[in-house]
């Protein structure tokens, strides 16, 4: 799924559309600013955009937003390493033993659609109110897509490549490392990308819910202090980080899968 609209617009049309998109956002912010400044919308519910922009400097300098960002990034990285290791291993195992795959693939798919994040109170009891609850929640919620995409990637290896391996009399281990795994890598990365997105969403969400950790906790903290400008600025910051993370993963995927 990509955001790209049908590429039938001319370059000028594309440029105009982008300008209209950005212009509409700027206009929306201006209208909001006027409505709030004139009192049509209460500034105790929605702070003016100028105040939100001003709060950015404050949350960066006073709320240690970068150290919080590093903490959340570290949690995501740990969960990411875990889903990559366990997800790929699980997928390979299930592909290797067909019976296991037939028995468990439906369960993994069901787990992917289950509201796993609602288990966070349970994880708090098991791991305590600490960073491991957050990491494990991200890990469990993000594991299914990596397993499913690993199975799909290995199963989708072109027959001709498998036959090349056979004609060279490769051992099963060589067949896996030289043929199956490299061929499946782009699809596996799709799974890892999805997993990382799920992990980030769940990690920030759980940080907010249990009021512990990095960026999610910052929002909860500011909201409890009724620091409206700061709350909105922190939300904008988290959204910005998520969008940049998402874009970076997309770029990495395109680099890994140059021809599609």
Partner 1 sequence: MAETGRLTRAAAGPALSPVTLLRAAIILSALAVWELLSHSGWLYRDVVPSLLSILRALIALLTSPSYYFNLGVTAAEIATALAIGGLSGVAVGILLGANRFLSKAFESYIYYLGPTPKIIFFPVMIMWFGVGPESKVALGTLSCFFPVALSVAAGMRGIDKVLIRVGESFRAGPWQMVVKIYLPAMRHPIINGIRLGLGVALIGTLLAETKLSNKGIGFLIINAYSTFDMPRMYALLIVLFVLAIGANALVGRLGGLDSIKRI
Residues binding partner 1 (CB under 8 A):
1-3, 5-6, 8-9, 13-14, 16-18, 20-21, 24-25, 45-46, 99-100, 102-104, 110, 113-115, 117-122, 124-126, 197, 200-202, 204-205, 208-209, 216, 219-220, 223, 228, 231-232, 235, 238-239, 242-243, 246-247
- CB nearer partner 1, residue 81 or residue 103: 103
Distance CA 4, CA 60 (A): 34
Q: Least distance in Å: CB of 174 to partner 1?
A: 29
| Pick 81 or 114: Cβ nearer partner 1 | 114
CB of 19: closest distance to partner 1 in angstroms?
Answer: 8
Distance CA 80, CA 260 (A): 25
CB of 208 to partner 1, least distance (A): 5
* CA-to-CA separations, 124 to 120, 133, 139, 216, in angstroms, rounded: 6, 6, 14, 16
Q: What does the block give as tokens for 135?
A: 């990491």
Give how far the C-alpha of residue 103 lies from the chain's centroid of Cα atoms, to the nearest Å: 29
126 contact partners, CB below 8 Å, separation of at least 6: 133
Residue (46 or 60) nearer to partner 1, CB: 46
Nearer to partner 1, 54 or 128 (CB): 128
The residue among 119 and 164 lying less far from partner 1, judged by its C-beta, is: 119
Nearer to partner 1, 13 or 54 (CB): 13
DSSP code string of 217-255: HHHHHHHHTT-HHHHHHHHHHHHHHHHHHHHHHHHHHHH
184 and 157 Cβ atoms separated by less than 8 Å: yes
**Min CB(109)–partner 1 separation in Å:** 9
Choose between 10 and 167: whose C-beta lies nearer to partner 1.
Answer: 10
CB 145 within 8 A of CB 84: no
Q: How far is the CB of 88 from partner 1 (least distance, A)?
A: 20
Q: What is the DSSP letter of 98?
A: H
Please give the full DSSP string across 155-207, using - where no structure is assigned: HTS-HHHHHHHHHTT--HHHIIIIIIHHHHHHHHHHHHHHHHHHHHHHHHHHH
């Amino acid at each position: 799924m990509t955001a790209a609209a049908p590429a039938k617009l001319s370059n000028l049309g594309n440029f105009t559309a982008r300008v209209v998109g950005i212009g509409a956002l700027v206009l929306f912010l201006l209208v909001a600013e006027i409505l709030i400044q004139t009192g049509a919308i209460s500034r105790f519910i929605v702070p003016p955009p100028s105040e939100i922009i001003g709060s950015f400097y404050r949350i960066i300098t006073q709320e240690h937003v970068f150290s919080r960002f590093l903490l959340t990034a570290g949690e995501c990285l740990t969960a990411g390493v875990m889903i990559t290791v366990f997800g790929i291993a699980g997928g390979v195992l299930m592909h290797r033993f067909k019976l296991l795959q037939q028995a468990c693939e439906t369960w993994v798919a069901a787990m992917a659609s289950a509201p796993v994040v609602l288990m966070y109170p349970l994880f708090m009891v098991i791991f305590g109110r600490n960073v491991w609850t957050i990491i494990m929640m991200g890990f469990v919620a993000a594991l299914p897509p990596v397993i499913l995409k690993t199975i799909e990637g290995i199963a989708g290896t072109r027959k001709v490549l498998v036959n090349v391996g056979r004609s060279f009399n490769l051992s099963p281990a060589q067949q896996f490392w030289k043929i199956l795994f490299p061929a499946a890598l782009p699809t596996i990365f799709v799974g890892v990308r999805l997993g990382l997105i799920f992990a980030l969403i769940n990690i920030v969400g759980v940080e907010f819910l249990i009021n512990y950790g990095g960026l999610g906790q910052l929002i909860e903290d500011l909201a409890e202090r009724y620091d409206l400008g700061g709350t909105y600025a922190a939300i904008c910051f988290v959204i910005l980080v998520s969008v940049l993370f998402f874009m970076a993963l997309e770029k990495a995927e395109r680099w890994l899968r140059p021809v599609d």
